[in-house]
Structure 1
């Protein structure tokens, strides 16, 4: 009997999209009114589905609406998205999303996610150019010799540095650029591709989960909750240190087992295919010339500039993509690549990541179905009602699970913050705990679910590494359970201290 293969990432997402479309026939439609700041004429705009009203930009307006957020958070641009207004949820006429909406959703998602999709395609082109120059092979050969006997340092360094980027400035989508670069290095160190995937993706996930100064989660959520972003930061720093340590140890234990006996690899059946896809990682005869060193320097500087731009200058996808595009052209000049060969190679490299781009678009399409079907706010409304009458220990753990569940439907951390915090954070007042605990539960709930959420970044990451979702779940579920118990214990202790 022929063994049935696990569905591809694209198929998984299309199945989820169909189930979400079905939910719009079952879940009642509803919506909160929203409030946004219009800097052009210095007014607030209160908007419902079929009405819009201009309000004065005063603290009194916020107080009357029950929004416990300082006025300057809006006027300074800290909160730039429309926020939900507490107590304004209304049931609306059903807007079920049928077969036409389901068919259109991936296309709408691709259009909405065009910024990150172009980043992925340009990175694919850059990787193609780098492979053509031979700089990768030479650099990997050099690194393999340098780290011989100390390959575990690679795991610790990559996981910690990416986690640090996640906790400080929200390094997440940008990590897609690291897979084609780092996987050959890990393979050269005699690890499997799962170790590389784990070091990058788990590093990013634990970092964003335990966000400290991340403006896209901890800071915007604190602002939307009406508290200073430093409230609760001690708890998040402690969770970051302990959580990252747990993750590194977990990866190291698996990596040591695979290095000792490659047949113990979860993806051992794909070993040869993955190594062929990512090139020859055992060629030690390639010389690292000065030209190749310069190419590697330019390539590295692309990432340094990207990290600086995102963390300091507030760059987003257009500027990040431009950096990689310029880097590709510079490397083409240094490598003396002919114009026609450069274009052909760049296009072919971009084509290698086209499947990843489609996954990102299809995932975004699921959000489009929920928004058009008006069920996202309904989920939030009923989730907020679940916690009434709970003691604070049960309450904070319920919030952890609620945010984990909501993140399936609202995978954007900043989107989740501005939509839910005005509704959820006042619930803390009723059970006698600080609102910073709601912010922390939001961070930990979203972060934990991101390890496995098919509507997040994991399927796009797996598509690059050529690893199935079922193999990833087999690898990561024990770690998720360890982190879940650790988080529940830590949250429970913290609300009683």
Structure 2
């Protein structure tokens, strides 16, 4: 009798992983008490501070340094007026438990479902950007310009494959440490993955080079306005305090990630069977290179060159706008929509083929877009259940009075936990720094070390947190989270060791 074939179990998809995390957080809301810190918010229209307590009662006070001193918030009043501190700042020693919102079974199910819809709604600007980008890529692919251009590039890469990893990771890490390049890197995957495949690497190498660049770069932030600058201001210090240590950390952490990626990538290039995604290698090559590319029968016409030039200019404008003009995803989406209109005029595809290519390209990234929205739902459940402040209050009480080295190490671990639940770097900075920074004075260390513990803790967890960008990045190339964990675990351990050494040096020198 023929034995039934056992079905191979596969690791859950990105959507399922996020839903599992969402269910776990939903369960935690029943056990973690609800609570809130009083907050101080600047009202620019009235030039006053609004002080809101845990029971949502608000009083107005003059927007002066004396008011900030009164509430033990060590931030210059000018930082509120110039918009540097634009989120509500938590008031130290003001935490109060509040009555847990009554939900019951029906209310819990409603919150669970509503959070997902709200997460998608709150992420609509990013989702629109991803879909428009996908449409533009679909059009570029339909012209054959991508295939022809990559074929020429592959000829120049022979013998220099390692430099591809070095250059891509370093440039993206520079963007991360300076202006917070993060979600924008989603645009680079469809462009860079074919180049990595042509160099003899796998799709995991491409994800590692791009994602480690942004994750390690933002973790080792030096002048990133969304983390180091806003955290330093909220801690009552200037962002240049502690800068030499942060620069050294960036060099060490980025260098470690590059060496780690190259070792894996070269092993794959010399022995493709050693790839962690070897089972999908053929599918990946067909998807990202295409039959035309695999046949090596591509010509590179002037029209194709012009198409790629216009496409590349879109990225140049995007990077300039984000770095110099403070653009976010609405403005970036407008840029690529403009690129689509220009391509409609110059590609010669015809109206029907152009639209079909645009729609099919957008459809390719629809799953990625939905992953972004679902990831946001975890934070929404925590916000609506008022448990974030409770977690922070617990840790702030636990770490006071420790030895300075143990204190800063524990602070780093605290920010790993907080960073898992609160993915917004600026939100976590303004919420936590007024509470955590004064603890540095108690143990006799520089407040800049608290900023480092915050940066490195919340940045490190970004390497693996399902609530962050990693699942979005993996969804682009259909790589399971389990395969990413197999790849990144050793690097994670080495990076933790590196951070602990740097933190100890920082408090001892």
Q: State the shift of 1:283 in Å.
A: 4.5
d(CA) in 2 for partners of 1:157 and 1:285? 29
Secondary structure, counterpart of 2:30 in structure 1? helix
- Aligned with residue 352 of structure 1, among 360, 364, 383: 364
d(CA) in 2 for partners of 1:298 and 1:63? 53
Q: State the partner residue of 1:83.
A: 89
TM-score computed with the length of structure 1 as normaliser: 0.98
d(CA) in 2 for partners of 1:67 and 1:86? 7
- Aligned with residue 36 of structure 1, among 41, 48, 51: 41
- Aligned with residue 468 of structure 2, among 434, 456, 471: 456
- Aligned with residue 127 of structure 1, among 137, 142, 162: 137
Question: Structure 1 residue 51 and structure 2 residue 57: aligned?
Answer: yes
Q: State the shift of 1:384 in Å.
A: 0.8
Secondary structure, counterpart of 1:386 in structure 2? helix
Q: State the partner residue of 1:138.
A: 148
Question: Structure 1 residue 116 and structure 2 residue 122: aligned?
Answer: no
Q: State the partner residue of 1:64.
A: 70
Task: Tell me if the contact between 1:24 and 1:95 (Cα under 8 Å) persists in the aligned partners.
Answer: no
Question: Structure 1 residue 24 and structure 2 residue 29: aligned?
Answer: yes
Secondary structure, counterpart of 2:212 in structure 1? helix
d(CA) in 1 for partners of 2:146 and 2:50? 52
For 1:157-172, list aligned pairs within 5 A.
157-172=167-182
Question: Structure 1 residue 268 and structure 2 residue 273: aligned?
Answer: no
Q: State the shift of 1:94 in Å.
A: 0.9
d(CA) in 1 for partners of 2:391 and 2:75? 23
Secondary structure, counterpart of 2:60 in structure 1? strand
Q: State the shift of 1:289 in Å.
A: 2.0
Q: State the shift of 1:145 in Å.
A: 0.5
Task: Tell me if the contact between 1:21 and 1:96 (Cα under 8 Å) persists in the aligned partners.
Answer: no
d(CA) in 2 for partners of 1:2 and 1:435? 55
d(CA) in 2 for partners of 1:307 and 1:283? 34
For 1:162-311, list aligned pairs within 5 A.
162-280=172-290, 281-311=293-323
Between stretches 42-51 and 319-328, larger displacement belongs to 42-51
d(CA) in 1 for partners of 2:85 and 2:454? 17
Q: State the shift of 1:95 in Å.
A: 2.0
Q: State the partner residue of 1:433.
A: 445
For 1:386-425, list aligned pairs within 5 A.
386-425=398-437
d(CA) in 1 for partners of 2:59 and 2:286? 60
d(CA) in 2 for partners of 1:491 and 1:163? 21
Q: State the shift of 1:96 in Å.
A: 5.7
Task: Tell me if the contact between 1:137 and 1:283 (Cα under 8 Å) persists in the aligned partners.
Answer: no
Task: Tell me if the contact between 1:141 and 1:282 (Cα under 8 Å) persists in the aligned partners.
Answer: no
4+ residue segments displaced more than 6 Å: none
Task: Tell me if the contact between 1:117 and 1:360 (Cα under 8 Å) persists in the aligned partners.
Answer: yes
Instruction: Note the alpha carbon deviations across 1:429-472, whole angstroms, 9 max, x for none.
Output: 10000110000110100111111111000001000011000000
Instruction: Note the alpha carbon deviations across 1:237-276, whole angstroms, 9 max, x for none.
Output: 0000111111110011111100000000011011111112
Instruction: Note the alpha carbon deviations across 1:320-367, whole angstroms, 9 max, x for none.
Output: 111111112212211023233322221221111111111111111111
d(CA) in 2 for partners of 1:341 and 1:96? 54
Q: State the shift of 1:87 in Å.
A: 1.3
d(CA) in 1 for partners of 2:303 and 2:495? 45
Instruction: Note the alpha carbon deviations across 1:283-338, whole angstroms, 9 max, x for none.
Output: 43322222212111111111111111111111111101111111122122110232
TM-score computed with the length of structure 2 as normaliser: 0.96
Count how many residue pairs are aligned between Structure 1 and Structure 2. Answer: 497
Task: Tell me if the contact between 1:209 and 1:447 (Cα under 8 Å) persists in the aligned partners.
Answer: yes
d(CA) in 1 for partners of 2:220 and 2:239? 13
Instruction: Note the alpha carbon deviations across 1:383-424, whole angstroms, 9 max, x for none.
Output: 111102210100101011110111111011111111111111
Using a 3 Å threshold, how does the CA distance of structure 1 residues 432 and 199 change in structure 2: closer, same or farther?
same
Q: State the shift of 1:278 in Å.
A: 1.3
Alignment RMSD, CA only?
1.1
Q: State the partner residue of 1:465.
A: 477
Q: State the partner residue of 1:14.
A: 19
d(CA) in 2 for partners of 1:379 and 1:145? 54
Question: Structure 1 residue 151 and structure 2 residue 161: aligned?
Answer: yes
